Amino acid sequence: MSPGSPKFYGLNTVHKFIVAVLTSLCLLVLTPAIATASLQDLVQTNAKLITKSSSKTVGPVLDALQQYGGAEAERFLTDWQAKKLYFIKESGRFVLAEKAAKSADGKKQMLIRDAVTGAEIGLVSTKSIKQIKPNSGVRSKIAATLVPFQLGNPDPDIRETTLTTLLRDIQSSHLAPLKAAITNETVPALKVQMEKAYVFGMLAHGTDDAEVEQAIRGLAGDLSLDVRAALTPMLTSTVRVATTLPDDANLAREITPGRTIKRSDGSAARLSEFGGKDAELSVVTAYEMMVAAGLAPAFVTRAMRDEALIAATVDGKVGGYPTSGLDSDTARDAAYQQLVDRGVAPQLISDQARQQAVDNARFFAIYDNPSSLVTDAARDVLNAIQTKVTLYKYIDLLVDALSLASIYFLAAIGLAITFGVMRVINMAHGEFIMMGAYTGYVVQLFVPNYTLSIIIAVPAAFLVTFAAGVVMERLVIRHLYKRPLETLLATFGISIALQQIAKNIFGTQARPLTSPDWLDGAFAVNDVLAISNIRIAIFFLALLFLGLLLYVMKRTRFGLETRTVTQNPAMAASMGINPDRINMLTFGFGSGIAGIAGVAIGLYSKVTSELGADYIVQSFMTVVVGGVGNIWGTLAGAVMIGSLQKGIEWFNPSNTLAAQTYMIIFIILFIQFRPRGIIAQKGRAAEA
């Protein structure tokens, strides 16, 4: 009796209610069984694709499982990917297996469960089942198929891993579940990533031009590499030739043969079989395109003409022309014309005629994407991004220049005292930098806490190099004042000796001066501009030293006495100042600052015995160019040399040696016009 029959409506309300409840209960009980049976049928129908899968053939069954959906399908795919899936050899049924105790007769057994329902089946012999081992390509395909299932996983780590997998190979089938996942996502960072992934999916698989355009416009201002990589292919185009420009095509631009076809936005037009991307459309290639399009006859070269004449030679003649008389182009053209008249050779075309044909044709590039709405949006956004990228590249260049200037300033600031103030040409100044770096390395051997070791290393390096400077001044320098050539030779010999001592103690292998964790990494402004934390620290350290030196030289008794002795030693002595003592302390102070600079530079580069030699030339150039004896001049010289070197390297990044050579030439020319440097010292000190 059906619900629609007359007798059914004659039952009382209680009977109707009981029938309805029983019907609902039957549906609730049967629905899972029906669904399970459907999944069982699906996997058994595609058994061959699952058991003998490859990355090329597995697609249909994965698509079917993705469309089926549900927890059972997700579990089946996960087990398949994890190589937990087996099948019974006799029946082909898919199962999950785990090791079990041996049978009574000592045979190995496996406990198997149904791969779809998870229901236990029983114990079977290991020989009766076979494991399915998908290769890496199949596992990658399964991972992509699992994306829609895992985007709604309650574990945020799984969702993040899924997003990473999805971005590698996003499919059109991922768009709908991704859009739903965006709505339900509660973690802000993951939501941003999902929105970005959805946009990339729209760019790759979107069919609604208005939606794709909106997605592209939403990327405006995003300077990341993946955005640029996604937008650039949308502006690829192919070169075509016709008698007139097409009205029904998405025209990228018109092209004049002989000029480059590459656009300023980085996109390129393909020349198909006539050349590669970014090629130049030459007149020859343009004419070949016209021939291929049926717009011009084939062009016959002189070599082709001569080959045709040789092939047509019979009894020493080509038609009515004896071969002995074909000793000029005019004669050969006439003989070849006979072949043309007989219809056995193509018409000769002059270079002028070829050029005229090319001039009369229209060459143009057509976007591969037929929608002008999409390509216009991609071009606008990409051009705006490229403008910002260029701006940030210049900012990055400026930051690099300031960073290098900070390093040069730290290296030269001690020399500004010993050479700029005392007029001592100390070629061993670089070795004081090296000694400071090695002091930091030794401190870290005993103090494993890198932050604490650096705090200890800075004053330790100052004391070590201060003492070394005092010893050097007492034993050598004080006997050579006002004898610059002898001072240069003596300190040069000392520098070689100090390098050899360092090699004997520490060896030739580079030693690490490890920076604290808080100096690792970089301050990332965006994907184009990132400044390493160590460079930021060196920059502020340079500013700190600038302030310290200015204070010492301008506000302390030691600074006043140093400047007094430098300008007029006799007058200073008559006022009770000991010039000999001041010279010793000044030289030690400059050497101590070099030691602190060595700690900072050692954090940036490896510590070796040649560390100081890498900076001695730049240090002297910094002091001389800035202005001898002037701290502000040393700062100006460091900025100038650092900027100049980075600028030259930017134009010629593959040859740093050439950059240094050009820099030295420029400095030599600069000194010719301004021998006292950027900020020249005034008064008697300038005349000393």
pLDDT tens for each residue of 611-622: 888 888 888 888
Q: What was the pLDDT predicted at 687?
A: 47
Tell me the pLDDT band of 629, cut-offs 50, 70 and 90.
low
Spatial distance between the Cα atoms of 516 and 501, rounded to a whole number of angstroms: 29
Residue listed under structure tokens 């008559």 = 574
Is residue 3 within 8 A of residue 19, CB to CB? The reply is yes
Looking at the DSSP bridge assignments, the partners of residue 240 are 364
pLDDT at 398 over 60: yes
Higher pLDDT, 279 or 396: 396
pLDDT at 24 over 60: no
H helices of 185-311, where? 188-205, 209-217, 225-231, 283-292, 302-311
What integer is the mean pLDDT of 295-308? 83
Q: What was the pLDDT predicted at 185?
A: 83
**DSSP per-residue string spanning 366-397:** EESS--HHHHHHHHHHHHHHHHHHHHHHHHHH
List the structure tokens of 153: 């996983």
pLDDT at 16 over 70: no
Q: What was the pLDDT predicted at 656?
A: 64
Q: What was the pLDDT predicted at 434?
A: 92
Q: What is the pTM of this model?
A: 0.64
Q: Mind spelling out the 3-state secondary structure of 200-215?
A: HHHHHHCCCHHHHHHH
**DSSP per-residue string spanning 8-25:** HHHS-HHHHHHHHHHHHH
Is residue 90 within 8 A of residue 128, CB to CB? The reply is yes
Nearest CA to 524 out of 515, 514, 542, 536 is that of: 536
List the structure tokens of 537: 């620290």
H helices of 422-449, where? 429-446
Looking at this protein, which amino acid is placed at residue 443?
V
Spatial distance between the Cα atoms of 33 and 21, rounded to a whole number of angstroms: 19
Neighbouring residues of 529: CB distance < 8 A, sequence distance ≥ 6: 392, 395, 396, 399
Specify the 3-state DSSP secondary structure of 130: strand
What percent of the chain stands above pLDDT 90?
A: 5
Q: Which helix (H) or strand (E) holds 477?
A: none
Q: What was the pLDDT predicted at 466?
A: 93
Least confident span in 159-163, 409-413, 653-657? 653-657
Spatial distance between the Cα atoms of 191 and 183, rounded to a whole number of angstroms: 8
Tell me the pLDDT band of 567, cut-offs 50, 70 and 90.
confident
Neighbouring residues of 633: CB distance < 8 A, sequence distance ≥ 6: 416, 420, 623, 626, 627, 677, 678, 679, 680, 681
What is the per-residue pLDDT across 357-366, written as a single tens digit (0 to 9) for each?
Answer: 888 899 888 8
% helix, strand, coil for the chain, step of 5: 65, 10, 25
Looking at this protein, which amino acid is placed at residue 420?
G
Neighbouring residues of 277: CB distance < 8 A, sequence distance ≥ 6: 268, 269, 270
Q: What was the pLDDT predicted at 462?
A: 92
Higher pLDDT, 172 or 557: 557
Spatial distance between the Cα atoms of 309 and 299, rounded to a whole number of angstroms: 16
Tell me the pLDDT band of 680, cut-offs 50, 70 and 90.
low
C-alpha 306: how far from chain center: 54
What percent of the chain stands above pLDDT 70?
A: 88
Tell me whether strands 251-255 and 109-114 are parallel, antiparallel or unpaired: unpaired
Tell me the pLDDT band of 8, cut-offs 50, 70 and 90.
very low
Q: What was the pLDDT predicted at 302?
A: 79
Inter-CA distances, 678 with 543, 629, 648, Å? 19, 12, 20
pLDDT at 452 over 50: yes
Q: What was the pLDDT predicted at 443?
A: 93
Looking at the DSSP bridge assignments, the partners of residue 366 are 238, 251
Higher pLDDT, 19 or 128: 128
Spatial distance between the Cα atoms of 247 and 510, rounded to a whole number of angstroms: 67
Burial class (CB in 10 A: 0-12, 13-18, 19+), 554: exposed
Average pLDDT, the chain: 80
Q: What was the pLDDT predicted at 683?
A: 43
**DSSP per-residue string spanning 135-157:** -HHHHHHHHHHHHHHHTT-S-HH
Q: What was the pLDDT predicted at 265?
A: 42
Nearest CA to 406 out of 657, 674, 613, 646 is that of: 646
Q: What was the pLDDT predicted at 500?
A: 92
List the structure tokens of 130: 């076979």
pLDDT at 217 over 50: yes
pLDDT at 372 over 50: yes
Q: What was the pLDDT predicted at 148?
A: 74
Least confident span in 77-91, 279-293, 348-362, 671-685? 671-685
Q: Say how many Å lie between the first and final Cα of the chain, rounded.
A: 124
pLDDT at 679 over 80: no
For residue 610, count other CB atoms closer than 10 A to its CB. Answer: 14
What integer is the mean pLDDT of 474-484? 83
pLDDT at 182 over 80: yes
Spatial distance between the Cα atoms of 629 and 419, rounded to a whole number of angstroms: 7
Is residue 91 within 8 A of residue 166, CB to CB? The reply is no
Look up residue 293 and give its DSSP letter.
T
